[in-house]
């Protein structure tokens, strides 16, 4: 398990995002976590030059719907990258496994078949504390990391 802030990175290694446009699809499920991921993502995009008018956020009810949301945004020619943000916390049933596998496979398929990158920002944790640790807590914010990945992949 990670023991350091994984959101630390070399600022100089991130390209300028001032001429880029980003689509973000965020799940409404586990809003404490997904809201923190979204805040981190947007602030990091802006820190690297993206202007607020070029950051478009769409919400979907749950994590499984992130696939459809990303697919719909990918049909818009104006995006340089799309970021999905969600949180699935393990429960007592196999639902966790099905959702996590489905979203992972769906986003992988979209990445393999689309012309723009779709960045995977789905937290898959065993409990709420692990999610908090990765959504602005002691291990950083995966939203920040997804923003950096989106900028770098848009420049790819």
DSSP per residue over 81-112, as a string? EEEEEEEEE--SSTHHHHHHHHHHHHHHHHHH
Distance of alpha carbon 118 from alpha carbon 113, whole angstroms: 11
Residue 95: active-site member: yes
pLDDT at 3: 47
pLDDT at 11: 74
Distance of alpha carbon 146 from alpha carbon 144, whole angstroms: 5
User: The whole model's pTM is what?
Assistant: 0.93
Q: Which of 48, 56, 95, 109 is catalytic?
A: 95
Helix axis angle, 31-47 to 142-155, nearest 10°: 40
pLDDT at 4: 57
Q: What is the CA radius of gyration of the chain?
A: 15
pLDDT at 41: 98
**H or E element at residue 50:** none
pLDDT at 136: 95
Q: Which of 92, 21, 106, 22 is nearest to 63 (CA)?
A: 106
Going by their DSSP bridges, the two strands 22-27 and 81-89 should be labelled as parallel
Question: Cβ contacts of residue 84 below 8 Å, gap of 6+?
Answer: 24, 25, 26, 66, 69, 70, 103, 107, 118, 119, 120, 121, 122
Residue with the two structure tokens 């995966």: 142
The one-digit pLDDT tens for each residue of the chain (156 residues) are 344 565 677 777 899 999 999 999 999 999 999 999 999 999 999 999 999 999 999 999 999 999 999 999 999 879 999 999 999 999 988 899 999 999 999 999 999 999 999 999 999 999 999 999 999 999 999 999 999 999 999 999
Distance of alpha carbon 27 from alpha carbon 64, whole angstroms: 9
Cβ(115)–Cβ(77) under 8 Å?
Answer: no
């Amino acid at each position: 398990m990670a023991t350091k802030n994984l959101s630390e990175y070399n600022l100089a290694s991130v390209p300028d995002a001032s001429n880029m446009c980003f689509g973000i699809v965020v799940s409404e499920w586990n809003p404490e976590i997904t809201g923190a991921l979204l805040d981190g993502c947007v602030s990091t995009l802006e820190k690297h030059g993206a202007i607020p008018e070029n950051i478009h956020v769409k919400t979907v009810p749950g994590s499984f719907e992130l696939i459809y949301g990303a697919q719909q945004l990918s049909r818009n020619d104006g995006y340089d990258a799309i970021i999905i943000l969600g949180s699935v916390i393990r429960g007592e049933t196999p639902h966790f496994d099905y959702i996590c596998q489905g979203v992972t496979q769906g986003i992988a398929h979209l990445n393999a078949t689309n012309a723009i990158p779709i960045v995977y920002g789905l937290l898959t944790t065993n409990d709420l504390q692990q999610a908090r640790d990765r959504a602005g807590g002691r291990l950083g914010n995966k939203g920040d990391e997804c923003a950096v990945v989106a900028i770098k992949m848009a420049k790819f």
